[in-house]
């Protein structure tokens, strides 16, 4: 409550853990003043740490394209920070992200959205490894700087991992004794000529038929006794394995 003609104080806290350089954040204030019921404030600050992260503190990894299987960062010591930048102990929050760092000893040309690097800068690259699970994840990469103001830096890594094969029909339901053709497509980063190997349990007949480009057909038929649970069709593509459940139902 601020009495008429008096002055009040508003305290704000700005989380700068993922910010650097000049930043501005808005604050909305609602009052009972009939003339100015809403007030918009802007908090501006210059966040100075030990290092300057380029292009920022967030990276993206995906297996949909070869170019997105790795995400690079350029690390530069902030002017005015005492000591020498010495990156050590790079580590990811999950074992299927590999992290490599190296100090630049000569000029590094602009590449993959990074500005040019200079001797004394460091290059960090986070890369997807084999065996990564399918799904969407929010992971982190951390490293030590050897500097006083910001001894440890945390990077946020958004991860989008897709299965090697997409079944256009979604869930597969197979009627006993009735053949079924399922349309499928390969993930974009895979060679359209990649051979798809199918492994089916007893009673399930499965055959892949190549189509145009990344698209192909899977021909299925169940000729065994009605199973109590869904059966699994295993697909092997370019060293990756994908398991697809198939619901088998009795003919009406």
Q: Report the distance separating Cα 246 and Cα 235, nearest Å.
A: 13
The reply to whether 90 and 106 lie within a common domain is yes
DSSP letter for each residue of the chain: ---TT-----------TT--EEEEEEEEEE-S-SS-SEEEEEEEEEE--SEEEES-SEEEEESSSGGGGEEEEEEEEPTT--S----EEEEESSTTEEEEEEE-SS-B--BTTB--B-BTBEEEEEEE-TTPPSEEEEEEEEEE-S-SS-SEEEEEEEEEE--SEEETTSSEEEETT--EEEEEEE-TTS-TTPPEEEE--TTEEEEEEE-STTEEEEEEEE-SPPPSS-EEEEEEETTEEEEEEEEEE---
Instruction: Identify the domain containing residue 174 by its residue range.
Output: 165-249
Q: pLDDT value at position 119? A: 95
Strand 204-210 vs strand 152-161: parallel, antiparallel, or unpaired? unpaired
Residue 6 belongs to some domain of the structure: no
CATH classification of the domain holding 239: 2.60.40.10
pLDDT per residue rounded down to tens, the chain (252 residues): 677 777 878 788 877 655 656 677 888 888 887 877 888 888 887 666 789 999 999 999 999 888 899 999 999 999 888 899 999 999 999 999 999 999 999 998 877 788 999 999 999 999 999 889 999 999 999 999 999 889 999 999 999 999 999 987 778 999 999 999 999 999 988 888 888 999 999 999 999 999 999 999 999 999 989 999 999 999 999 888 899 999 999 987
Q: pLDDT value at position 69? A: 93
Q: Report the distance separating Cα 153 and Cα 249, nearest Å.
A: 55
Strand order in the sheet with 165-167: 165-167, 180-186, 215-222, 204-210
Count of structural domains within the chain: 3
The reply to whether 43 and 57 lie within a common domain is no
Q: Report the distance separating Cα 218 and Cα 204, nearest Å.
A: 12
Q: pLDDT value at position 84? A: 94
Strand 88-92 vs strand 135-144: parallel, antiparallel, or unpaired? antiparallel
Residue 5 belongs to some domain of the structure: no
Residue 13 belongs to some domain of the structure: no
The reply to whether 58 and 105 lie within a common domain is yes
Neighbours of 228 (CB within 10 A): 6
Residue 150 belongs to some domain of the structure: yes
């Amino acid at each position: 409550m601020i009495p008429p003609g008096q002055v009040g104080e508003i305290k704000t806290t700005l989380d700068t853990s993922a910010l650097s350089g000049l930043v501005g954040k808005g604050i909305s204030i609602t009052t009972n003043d009939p003339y100015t019921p809403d007030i918009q404030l802007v908090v501006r600050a210059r966040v100075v740490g030990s290092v300057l992260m380029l292009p920022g503190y967030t990276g993206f990894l995906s297996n949909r394209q070869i170019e997105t299987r790795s995400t690079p960062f350029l690390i530069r010591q902030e002017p005015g920070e005492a000591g020498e930048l010495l990156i050590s102990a790079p580590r990811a929050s999950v074992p299927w992200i590999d992290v490599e760092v190296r100090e630049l000893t000569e000029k590094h040309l602009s590449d993959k959205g990074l500005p040019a690097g200079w001797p004394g800068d460091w290059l960090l690259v986070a890369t997807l490894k084999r065996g990564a699970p399918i799904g969407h994840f929010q992971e982190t990469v951390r490293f030590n700087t050897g500097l006083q103001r910001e001894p440890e830096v945390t990077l946020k890594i958004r991860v989008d991992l897709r299965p090697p094969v997409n079944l256009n029909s979604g869930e597969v339901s197979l009627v006993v004794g009735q053949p079924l053709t399922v349309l499928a497509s390969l993930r974009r980063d895979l060679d359209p000529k990649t051979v798809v190997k199918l492994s089916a349990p007893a009673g399930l007949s499965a055959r892949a038929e190549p189509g145009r480009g990344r698209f192909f057909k899977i021909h299925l038929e169940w000729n065994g006794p009605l199973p109590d649970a869904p059966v699994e069709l295993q697909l092997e593509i370019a060293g990756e394995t994908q398991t697809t459940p198939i619901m088998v139902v009795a003919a009406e």
